[in-house]
Homo-oligomer: A and B are copies of this chain.
Amino acid sequence: METDLFKSWIARGRLKATRQREEILNVFFNSHGHQNLAQIYAQVMKVDPKIGYTTVYRTLKLLTRHGLALQRKFADGETRYEPVSDKSHHDHLICLGCGKIIEFEDKDMEALQEGIAERHRFKISHHRMELYGQCADCRSKKKNSARKG
């Protein structure tokens, strides 16, 4: 369990320690990430069916405000959350075939972005970068069905 994380979050946020918050945090930090609220809520329900959707909603919002969660909105329009761990910033490859989300980081990319911004005398605070297409699995599946068909 993420006991330390929970305690430090509660302390730093001057929040009250509740069973609900601890359970939601545990579920969230043990999930795969990139889940929407309904999915997180469903997982929370398994642990404790009495916790309300509203509380999950508010807790994720709090976690986001305090930097422990990131809200992501990819092109499908769904609002997803991912836990923020010690691993650094990353961007995403998103498969339009199977929905798989692959994370990557690329220093050259970030440097290039800074260069572009400078040319426009623009100071970047953050960015969004997503690559949409077909993953390796979906590409080979498509190739096979084309061969058969």
Which A residues form the contact surface with B (CB < 8 A)? Answer: 73, 75, 77, 93, 95-96, 102, 104, 106, 108-109, 112-113, 116-117, 120-136, 139
Contacts and interface: CB of A to CB of B under 8 A. Distances in A.
21 contacts: A73-B73, A73-B77, A75-B128, A93-B117, A93-B120, A93-B122, A102-B122, A106-B116, A108-B112, A109-B109, A112-B112, A113-B131, A117-B131, A122-B131, A122-B135, A122-B136, A124-B132, A126-B133, A128-B128, A128-B130, A129-B129
Nearest to A129: B129
Contacts of A102: 120, 122
Nearest to A124: B133
A68 B124 CA distance: 30
Contacts of A108: 112
Contacts of A93: 116-117, 120, 122
Contacts of A125: 96, 132-134
Contacts of A129: 127-130
Nearest to A121: B136
A137 B95 CA distance: 38
A125 B95 CA distance: 10
A116 B131 CA distance: 9
